[in-house]
Amino acid sequence: MGILLIGMSHKTSPLAVRERFSLSCENRDHPLDRIRQMPSIREALYLATCNRVEVLVSAAEEAEQAVEEGLKALMAERGGISGQELERCLYTLSGAEAVRHLFRVASSLDSLVMGEPQILGQVKEAYREAVEHGVTGILLNRILHHAFQVAKRVRTETGIADNAVSVGYAAVELAKKIFGRLDGKVILLVGAGEMSELAARHLLKQGIKSIFVANRTHARALEMAEQFEGKAVVLEQVPEVLKSVDIVISSTGASNYVLTRDMVAAALRRRKNRFLFLIDIAVPRDIEPAAGDIDNVYLYNIDHLQELVDENRNHRLREAEKAEAIIEEEVGNHTAWLSTLDVVPTIVEFREKIEGIMKAELEKSASWRHSLSEMDQRHVESLMASIVNKILHEPTACLREQSRNQNGKAYAAALRKLFKLER
């Protein structure tokens, strides 16, 4: 049996193509229902996320070409695209390359944001569905569990998931450095753009108490406030609201400063000098730079956040080199295990033959063993089993070792001939 992987990702296909596969999953049969019916396929995994669609199967090696063509035809059908259009987006991997790719995917080395944790959960969910559909066996079970172990090892032994690599996460990281904990804090969004919304989402996950939203278009402020279960205010209320918030995220695109130094200073006096964290992600800037000179005010603009993001991304890239080394080691371990499968049938038959000889001899001795006590009979049987295990140990260990050195088939053939193993 061989391993084959066919797929597409954000690296090889546009979003418009990946969207078709996502939509095709709605109100339709699961792809595994079709895959399990294909000739020569024994085991299968179907992984579909917003950034990738991949099929991993084990199939007879001599049928690999037919299996590949069948899977491509199925993907083209489900995506509603031509085979020619699909071919431009696909990659096909087999054997150790397929295993290496799966290990990298599960470890988030192949993700759009390297180090993100969601992909491992998505792989586990795809495996759960494969188990439920009854399309897993010895190969995929081993590969998937190995992939989970590799992902855990990468996350434990490297810093690939450390530090923020998006502006939103960078804002959270900086806020945590200032406040220590964010639970119970209050946010003011000035402007209801996409970047400020994303930053607010990240902050809200940290247990923020409440949120105010101010925007030039009040209807948009009401819409976002409802989304975050917050309160909408008009821009003229911002100076008043400043006295009760801890974090301000501003992104209006206004031509003049929305928050001036004097406005912030006045608010700080009424706040009894509590820390105020200002995030200005507007271009041109919304907050007068001089506001950052006030004691207990921490002002960061888009360049500060981007510098942090770039620094952290470089850190992850350095950690990725360690992760790649771990994956290479684990791919070698998997390949070594896989090579032993060729000699397993011979080992099983060898054990069955030797144990069969032992049982036959015990049956021949039944007449005189009847005179022994029940305990003595058990001692005899235990002694025979121990002798058999000692006889089997060295040849079996040698056969497994030689299989890792690519000599397993020759040694297995010799063992079969010496002991006349017929199957």
Structural domain includes residue 146: yes
23 versus 229: which is more confidently predicted?
A: 229
Q: What is the pLDDT of residues 274-327, one digit of tens each?
A: 889 998 888 778 999 999 999 999 998 888 877 877 777 888 888 889 999 999
Specify the pLDDT at position 180.
83
Q: Which residues of 246-282 are buried (b: 16+ CB within 10 A; e: fewer)?
A: bbbbbbbebeebbbebebbeebbeebeeebbbbbbbb
Percent of the chain topping pLDDT 70: 95
185 and 301 in a single domain? The answer is yes
Which domain does 390 fall in, by range?
339-419
**pTM, rounded to two decimals:** 0.64
Question: First-to-last CA distance in the chain?
Answer: 19
70 and 8 in a single domain? The answer is yes
* Structure token pair of residue 188: 């003011």
Residue 28: is its pLDDT beyond 70? no
Structural domain includes residue 313: no
Which positions are annotated as active-site residues? Answer: 50
Q: What is the mean pLDDT of the chain?
A: 86
Judged by average pLDDT, the poorest of 183-192, 256-265, 410-419 is 410-419
Residue 249 β-bridge partners: 189, 279
Q: Specify whether the CB–CB gap between 113 and 312 falls below 8 A.
A: no
Looking at residue 250, its amino acid is S
d(CA 215, CA 198): 16
Specify the pLDDT at position 22.
66
Structural domain includes residue 358: yes
151 and 174 in a single domain? The answer is no
290 and 150 in a single domain? The answer is no
176 and 291 in a single domain? The answer is yes
Structural domain includes residue 322: no
Structural domain includes residue 276: yes
Domain tally for the chain? 3
Q: Which residue, 160, 181, 211, sits at the end of a domain?
A: 160
275 and 296 in a single domain? The answer is yes
Q: Which residue, 117, 132, 160, sits at the end of a domain?
A: 160
Q: Which residue, 132, 160, 188, sits at the end of a domain?
A: 160
